[in-house]
């Protein structure tokens, strides 16, 4: 099934329909998506990392968990598939997909307008509760049949409106790096640039845009055309990888690089994010959660430029803004803990059918 989840798009598959061997699975997915090829002309990929994603979903065997979700990121122009990160945008469509495929059941004894399910994110061994609208036993993507929350909303980067899908994350801090701040520091200096190396669902290097010679308000095309900037960001990223307990990250998609600057359009902080070599037209869900968390840490580059006024942090990005509700506690010993992280997304089923991977 092809689905849009948040501002991403990709293929959703039931785990039992794929080879159990990871190498065979990844090889099959590359053929389905048409990689490696910049246009992915011989597959169903969208010729861009944001539209070339895969979600593998199954019933969970874990206590008190409904579904297991494995996110896989096929490369567009290389024969690589990464499982080193989550995708919070694709996550928004996991519950609806599971209901469509019979992996999730509605209560038998009552009519419901919405359902909640607990999803285990396999990549980072963490959990999220997703709540989405239903109508007539199926996902209500448009929200036209619901009479109670989730309400109908719009999200930047997606035309029109759709039913809200709420995602409340549990224990995502350190899911990839082992700790919210894997170095133990709010600020680390790499190549003379102050950075916050943070993992609250997504490993991200957060740094001031001005410290690498840009304003942070440039378009993605302008930033991608700046070879000096890209080389500098990649140098910082390659050094940050081992510091974040990710090892050699030369061939991986994490950590993301997020340059921050003062808000310019009514939000709380402005962002430009590389994922890791292309500048994101928006910002990823869990990337936004990590940046919003960094903005809560006194003394961080993000806190230095952010203008906060409540529990919600609105992260501006090239095509709009993204709101993340993040509550961070800092005790008298300066120990940092994340009490809550929640966001709202939307999703939609685009196509349900059979993919025919090329033979090999």
Domain boundaries, the chain: 2-171+346-351, 188-318
Cα dihedral sign, 101-49-52-18: negative
Q: Is residue 242 within a helix (H) or strand (E), and if so which, with residue range?
A: helix 227-243
Which carries the bigger pLDDT value, residue 144 or residue 260?
Answer: 260
Measured from the Cβ of residue 4, the count of other Cβ atoms closer than 10 Å reads 22
CA distances from 92 to 41, 105, 108 (A): 27, 17, 24
Q: What is the rounded average pLDDT of the residues 140-167?
A: 83
**360, two tokens:** 């090999």
H/E element, 106 = none
Buried b / exposed e along 257-277 (16+ C-beta atoms within 10 A): bbbbbbbeeebbbbbbbbbbe
User: Which pLDDT belongs to residue 55?
Assistant: 98
Stretch among 55-69, 148-162, 189-203 having the lowest mean pLDDT? 148-162
The per-residue pLDDT for 146 is 58
pLDDT at 109: 60
Separation CA 277–CA 316 (nearest Å): 20
pLDDT tens digits, one per residue of 266-295: 999 999 999 888 999 989 888 999 999 999
User: Under CATH, what is the fold of the domain 188-318?
Assistant: Diaminopimelate Epimerase; Chain A, domain 1 (3.10.310)
Helix (H, G, I), strand (E, B) or coil at 250: coil
Does an H or E element contain 320, and which? Answer: strand 320-330
Task: Give the Cα separation of 127 and 337 in Å (integer).
Answer: 17
Question: Residue 171 above 60 pLDDT?
Answer: yes
Provide the pLDDT for residue 150. 52
CA 11-14-19 angle, to 5 degrees, is 95
pLDDT higher than 80, residue 226: yes
Antiparallel, parallel or unpaired: β 320-330 and 347-351: unpaired
Report CA torsion sign: 14, 16, 17, 18.
positive
Mean pLDDT of the region 220-241 = 97
Q: Is the pLDDT of residue 7 over 70?
A: yes
Instruction: Determine what percent of the chain falls in helix, strand and coil, rounding each to the nearest 5.
Output: 20, 35, 45
Q: Specify whether domain 2-171+346-351 bears CATH 3.10.310.10.
A: yes
Q: Average pLDDT, stretch 210-235? A: 97
Q: What's the mean per-residue pLDDT of the chain?
A: 93
pLDDT digits (tens, 9 = 90+) for 106-129: 877 667 889 999 999 999 899 999
How many C-beta neighbours within 10 Å does residue 144 have? 11
* Residue whose entry in the numeric block shows the structure tokens 């874990």: 62
Mean pLDDT of 206-231: 97
Q: What pLDDT is stored for residue 303 in this prediction? A: 97
Average pLDDT over residues 57-77: 97
Residue with tokens 């080389």: 231
Closest CA to 86 of 76, 75, 71, 98: 71
H or E element that contains 151: none
**Do 2-171+346-351 and 188-318 fold alike per CATH?**
yes
The Cβ of residue 304 has, within 10 Å, a number of other Cβ atoms equal to 14
CA distance 5 to 349: 9
The answer to whether residue 131 scores a pLDDT higher than 90 is yes
Question: Both tokens of residue 203?
Answer: 């490993």
Percent residues over pLDDT 70 in the chain = 98
User: If pLDDT is split at 50, 70 and 90, which confidence band does 149 have?
Assistant: low
Kindly indicate the confidence band of residue 156, based on its pLDDT and cuts at 50, 70 and 90: confident
Task: Flag the least confident range among 54-58, 101-105, 148-152, 236-240.
Answer: 148-152
Mean pLDDT for 203-211 is: 98
What average pLDDT score do residues 78-95 get?
A: 94
Average the pLDDT over 19-40 and give the result: 97
Question: What integer pLDDT is reported at residue 47 of this predicted model?
Answer: 96
What are the CB-based long-range contacts (under 8 Å, 24+) for 76-81?
76/35, 76/36, 76/37, 76/38, 76/40, 76/45, 76/47, 76/48, 76/49, 76/52, 77/35, 77/36, 77/37, 77/38, 78/35, 78/36, 79/30, 79/35, 79/36, 80/251, 81/26, 81/29, 81/30, 81/54
Read off the pLDDT band of 45 (50, 70, 90). Answer: very high
In the predicted model, is pLDDT for residue 79 greater than 60?
A: yes
314/110: higher pLDDT: 314
């Amino acid at each position: 099934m092809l689905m849009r989840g948040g501002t991403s798009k990709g293929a959703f598959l039931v785990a039992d329909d794929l080879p159990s061997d990871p190498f065979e699975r990844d090889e099959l997915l590359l053929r389905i998506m048409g990689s490696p090829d910049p246009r992915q002309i011989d597959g169903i990929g969208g010729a861009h990392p944001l539209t070339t994603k895969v979600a593998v979903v199954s019933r969970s065997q874990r206590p008190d968990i409904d579904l297991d979700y494995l996110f896989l990121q096929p490369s567009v122009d290389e024969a690589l598939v990464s499982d080193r990160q989550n995708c919070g945008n694709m996550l928004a469509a996991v519950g609806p997909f599971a209901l469509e495929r019979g992996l999730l059941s509605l209560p038998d004894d009552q009519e419901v307008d919405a359902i909640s399910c607990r999803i285990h994110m396999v990549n980072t061994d963490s959990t999220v509760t997703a709540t989405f609208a239903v109508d007539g036993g199926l996902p209500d993507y448009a929200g036209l049949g619901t009479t109670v929350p989730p309400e109908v909303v719009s999200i930047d980067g997606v035309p029109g409106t759709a039913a809200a899908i709420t995602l409340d994350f549990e224990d995502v801090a350190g899911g990839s790096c082992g700790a919210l701040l894997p170095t133990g520091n709010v600020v680390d200096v790499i190549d003379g640039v102050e950075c916050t190396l943070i993992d609250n669902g997504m490993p991200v290097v957060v740094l001031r845009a001005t410290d690498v010679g840009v304003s942070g308000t440039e378009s993605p095309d302008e930033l991608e055309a700046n070879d000096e900037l890209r080389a500098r960001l990649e140098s910082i990223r390659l050094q940050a990888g081992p510091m974040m307990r990710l090892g050699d990250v030369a061939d991986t998609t994490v950590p993301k690089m997020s340059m921050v600057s003062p808000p310019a359009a009514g939000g709380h902080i402005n962002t430009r994010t590389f994922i890791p070599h292309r500048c994101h037209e928006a910002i990823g869900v869990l990337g936004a959660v990590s940046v919003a968390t960094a903005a809560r840490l006194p003394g961080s580059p993000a806190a230095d430029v952010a203008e906060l006024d409540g529990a919600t942090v609105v992260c501006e990005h090239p095509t709009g803004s993204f709101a993340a509700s993040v509550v961070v506690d800092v005790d008298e010993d300066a120990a940092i803990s994340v009490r809550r992280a929640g966001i709202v997304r939307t999703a939609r089923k685009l196509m349900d059918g059979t993919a025919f991977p090329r033979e090999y």
